[in-house]
Chain A
Amino acid sequence: MLKLTPFHDRHLAAGGRMVDFAGYDLPVQFHGIIPEHNRVRNTVGVFDVSHMGRIEVRGRDALAFINRVTTNDASKLAVYQAQYSVLCYPDGGIVDDLVVYRLPDCYFLVVNGANNEKDTAWLHEHLSGEVQMENITEVQAQLAIQGPKAEPAIQKVCSIPLTPVGFYWAAHCEVAGVKALVSRTGYTGEDGFEAYFPAASALRVWDAIFAAGKEFDIEPIGLGARDTLRMEMKMALYGNDIDKNTNPIEAGLSWVVALDKPEGFIGSDVLKRVEEEKPARRLVCTEMQDRSIARPHYPITVQGQLVGNVTSGTLSPSLNKGIALGYVKRQFAKAGTEVQIDIRGRTAAALIVKPPFYKHGSVRKGQSGKA
């Protein structure tokens, strides 16, 4: 049976077209992927991401445990800081990608909804020392408020000033009088926040955020636009661009793989070797040179030779052209390389380009203010 998020009635009331996503009945779109995409790029939109898996880890050995199962170095996190990271299998394949928060009384992991059970089991299997783990997905709601007007919108209903909260930093505060954790994070390339709060108070927060954002034409945004927004930024999607058969080095995630961690981590031996020998293939950005749109699994060729496969593809609403992510053999991975993509039997020209596809996002990456 499909699970419902606390916002389900709001989605139906807003005309959401509902689909099964990660076992939840979630809106794929409201009035159109393109206008919803543009809403986030231009002002502000709200995503119900309550289906994401949320896990608290505490205890004396919590840091050592997290550093053993994740690729990034969690020892570098200050209290209220967050980092993007990866869980790997011993062979370097990816269990999941996630965000790790260091909070005053625990570490807080946010994983993909579709992988919540798998990840929880994986983490349990590798528990060691004095560590307690609690999956709080069901009792908590999560919203992503994204876009250049996200801050002015939610500032109106937030009990603390948000400007000092830097990119990938968080703070405890009240949103519409409800205790919440708010972080400057997201999956769109725009400035914005994610808010975590008790499921029981979810509608109060939703209604307050929509009232506060009214002057910016705030709208709920479906999964369809979530996908096009992340693709324009070359943000990997588990199940498409990364999975157990890909490793974070070839996926371009070396920046979250701390091979210098003294104790190593699950998968570090293999990943060290991949890094030294250079991966055989790399995840690249390709732009179609005509009106074609590449889709997952389409073959990528160079002069008739198969050199890789598409993993994600769409029309980019911001660029108004076909864009795709895919793996190609390393020697073809350089920006500027001309490749061909087999579009259902027809060969279409594509160009490998530097990420991201969309270069005008409002995300405040440089800023590292403290909460």
Chain B
Amino acid sequence: MANFPSDLKYAKTHEWLKLDGDIATIGITDFAQGELSDIVYVEITAVGKTIKRDESIGTIEAVKAVSDLYSPVSGEVTEANEALKDSPASVNKDPYGAGWMAKIRVSDPTELANLLDAAAYAELAAKSAHH
């Protein structure tokens, strides 16, 4: 079963977020990595840019398909996880640790109220799952 740590916030588009001061670290959830499977390439295109909530900041290539990475919050993309260039499979193996994707300097902390807690997200993931 997919794992959803309770200290993280979750977006309906299957990203997780962890806030440390005004810096949010984001990645995709355990459920999302399982659905995409075999992630081979992560490209964060928005480093240095100021972006709005739900805007695409990069792409995630899996063997089967490509998907967008959406930012759960508005702010400035300050950093991309460069280690994923050599080890994109970290997203599959450790989605909340080594598989983190980007850091964002949050411009409006009140937006976090729109995100789900682990229990609410687990429910959403269960509904989205294939039978």
* In the complex with contacts A34-B38, A315-B61, A295-B66 CB distance below 8 A: yes
- Judged by a CB distance under 8 angstroms, whether A85 is at the interface is no
On chain A, which size bracket covers the interface? Answer: 10 to 19
Q: Which residues from chain A contact B37 at a C-beta distance below 8 Å? A: 17, 29, 32-33, 224
Residues B63 and A33 in contact, CB atoms below 8 Å apart: yes
Residues A18 and B61 in contact, CB atoms below 8 Å apart: no
Residues B59 and A317 in contact, CB atoms below 8 Å apart: no
* In the complex with contacts A33-B38, A34-B38, A317-B130 CB distance below 8 A: no
- Judged by a CB distance under 8 angstroms, whether A344 is at the interface is yes
Interface residues of B in 61-99 (CB under 8 A from A): 61, 63-66, 85, 92
Interface residues of A in 347-368 (CB under 8 A from B): none
Residues B66 and A293 in contact, CB atoms below 8 Å apart: yes
Task: Indicate which residue in A19, A34, A291 contacts B63 across the interface (CB closer than 8 Å).
Answer: A34
* In the complex with contacts A32-B37, A293-B40, A19-B64 CB distance below 8 A: no
| Separation of A224 and B63 alpha carbons in the complex (Å) | 8
| Separation of A344 and B69 alpha carbons in the complex (Å) | 14
* 0/1 interface trace, chain B 101-131, chain A, CB 8 Å (1 if under): 0000000000000000000000000000011
Residues B40 and A315 in contact, CB atoms below 8 Å apart: yes
Residues A228 and B63 in contact, CB atoms below 8 Å apart: yes
| Separation of A315 and B37 alpha carbons in the complex (Å) | 13
Interface of chain A, helix or strand or loop or mixed? mixed
Q: Which residues from chain B contact A295 at a C-beta distance below 8 Å? A: 65-66
Residues A18 and B63 in contact, CB atoms below 8 Å apart: no
- Judged by a CB distance under 8 angstroms, whether A254 is at the interface is no
- Judged by a CB distance under 8 angstroms, whether A314 is at the interface is yes
Minimum CB–CB distance from B74 to chain A (whole Å) comes to 23
| Separation of A228 and B65 alpha carbons in the complex (Å) | 12
* In the complex with contacts A19-B130, A29-B37, A32-B37, A344-B59 CB distance below 8 A: yes
Closest to B56 in A: A344
Residues of B within 8 A of A (CB): 37-38, 40-41, 43, 59, 61, 63-66, 85, 92, 130-131
Task: Identify 24 residue pairs between A and B in the complex whose beta-carbon atoms are under 8 Å apart, listed by A's number.
Answer: A17-B37, A17-B130, A18-B130, A28-B64, A29-B37, A32-B38, A33-B38, A33-B64, A224-B38, A224-B64, A227-B64, A228-B63, A291-B43, A293-B40, A293-B41, A293-B61, A314-B63, A314-B64, A315-B38, A315-B40, A315-B61, A315-B63, A317-B63, A344-B66
Residues of A within 8 A of B (CB): 17-19, 28-29, 32-34, 224, 227-228, 291-293, 295, 314-315, 317, 344
